Amino acid sequence: MSEAITITPSLTMEEKEVTNPRALGLVELLHTQFNARRLELLELRNLRQAELDDGKKPDFLKSTQAIREDNWVVSPIPHDLQDRRVEITGPVDRKMVINALNAPVMTFMADFEDSCSPTWSNIIHGQINLRDAINKDIEFIRESDQKRYALNQQTATLIVRPRGWHLNEKHVLVNEEEVSGGLFDFAIFLANNHEALSQNGSGPYFYLPKLESHLEARLWNDVFIAAQDFLNIDRGTIKATVLIETILAAFEMDEILYELREHSAGLNCGRWDYIFSFIKKFRNDADSILPNRDEVMMTRHFLKSYVDGLIKTCHKRNVHAMGGMAAQIPIKNNTQKNNEAMSKVESDKLREANAGHDGTWIAHPGLSSIAMEAFNSIMGDQANQISNKRDDVNITSHDLLKVPNGMITEEGLRHNIRVGVQYIEAWLSGNGCVPLYNLMEDAATAEISRSQIWQWITHKASFTGTNQTIDENLFISILDQEMTQLIELRGDSNFDQANLDRAIDLFQSMSTSSDFDQFLTLPAYKFL
């Protein structure tokens, strides 16, 4: 290991195998070449936020108009990414990796980001698990009954989501600087697995989260080129799908694809983070207050416009337009509620397929047949719908910025509190993907909960049909009520009271602070 690199935890032999000199050499190279640019781009986010706070609304860039109007297309898509009609997502624990790759879907997005609590153990063992899966050398034995989990002969295509540009990996230092979590995840995976992936007839495929501009996409593209050169991989081997999950990125979709055109595998509608981004970016605008989370559906004008614009943009460039996450999960022991949930999933997936999406996301294998049937009914034997150019679509800035109306209720506030606190508690315990109230919650959905409360308190919103203002005192009172009830419901069940107390403190401080925390994971990370 280079003297420039320090890994603070002591490593087991297995952990040393994936943090081998070649992999760490790539981490060091990428950090040295690109970390300064990464930090500059993060500062640019702050400057753009200041402009928004001053009332300047985002718009399509005049400087890149030619890129939007020209008829360029991206490089051809590999064979095993042509048909992506159903993708399952989830964290990188060993059982999940096996079950997801075995699921009756086309691809599996192995997630180091929103559904992964980035403990050192989760991150490094996630890398081990993916290496073993690619090498067809993975199994999991459940302790309770010794049930064995192993890979099927036929498995889904693997795609990996590294952490976003804003997250560091505090356990790995280069010249005493914390490295980028995303660069670390990317480098370790690529260095350890590109050869085996090629031998398996696949390649190193990635999802890129949280981008806010084409300049951030350009940075990733430069990282890809440097990494391919370092490892003697042909340029263009890496393919990446960008999640459009920030309102600012929605104005630069053509430009993002253009920057990655040699490495692009399309764009994805990251719907939950997109809603969070809308709240976050316009948090200081009293005219941009969103109603209860459950009223902000994909049929709302600003979200439908974002979807239609993304599909048109991707298909113009001959690349995939992926749909969003179905947060529902199968509900056991309640047939009526389960049927209602599954009906919502079916309706959502049919909406996506009819709009022209080339595939969609699910978080649970139990939803695979519903999602598959929805897309099969529209796509038939076609691998994708890229031929559907959506020439009927003409999205303006007004369309993307139209604020939906709706109700703000006490129950909406209470639900946000319950979800937000319990998610942070689970995250602090090392679990980043949590079933709560019959939905699968991850960092993106929890962000909506806490950012909405911050926005309501800041602008002294009132419950619909009442004169009751949502202020800090009311919030704290209801928070206390909900947490007392939660503890009573748990009774003698085994849970970590310290993590719950810390989650409550974090949620309260982030919801009431005068300064808005950009991501809940940033102040929470120091406790991992």
d(CA 224, CA 238): 7
Q: Which amino acid is at 295?
A: E
Name the token pair of 40: 């500059």
- Rounded Cα distance between 352 and 350, Å, is 5
What SS3 class is residue 50? helix
Q: What whole-number distance in Å separates Cα of residue 221 and Cα of residue 286? A: 37
**Beta-carbon neighbour count of residue 409 at 10 Å?**
17
Q: Within the chain, what is the greatest distance between any pair of CA atoms? A: 66
Whether 321 and 315 have beta carbons less than 8 Å apart is answered as yes
Task: Indicate if 442 belongs to the active site.
Answer: yes
Q: Which two tokens stand for residue 323?
A: 């749909």
Instruction: Check 161, 293, 300, 317 and give the catalytic one.
Output: 161
DSSP state of 493: -
For residue 208, CA distances in Å to 93, 114, 147, 268, 321 come to 20, 12, 35, 10, 14
Token pair of 143 as six digits: 């302790």
List the one residue out of 527, 524, 522 whose CA is nearest residue 181.
Answer: 522
Contact assessment for residue 89 and residue 251, using Cβ atoms and an 8 Å cutoff: no
Where do the DSSP E strands lie in 122-167? 139-141, 148-150, 157-161
Instruction: Give the bridge partners for 108, in sequence order.
Output: 88, 158
State the first-to-last Cα distance of the chain, in angstroms, to the nearest integer. 25
161 is catalytic: yes
* Sign of the dihedral defined by the CA atoms of residues 246, 250, 255, 257, in that order: positive
Residue environment code for 248-281, b if the CB has 16+ CB neighbours within 10 A, otherwise e: bbbbbbbbbbbbbbebbbbbbbbbbbbbbbbbbb
Q: How many CB atoms lie within 10 A of CB 470?
A: 21
Q: Which amino acid does the sequence have at 174?
A: V
Query: Are 218 and 178 within 8 A, CB to CB?
Result: no
Find the catalytic residue in 93, 442, 450, 517.
Answer: 442
Exposed (0-12), middle (13-18) or buried (19+): which is 60, by Cβ within 10 Å? middle
Q: Which residue, among 272, 329, 352, has the nearest Cα to 85 in the 3D structure? A: 352
Residues marked active site are found at: 161, 442
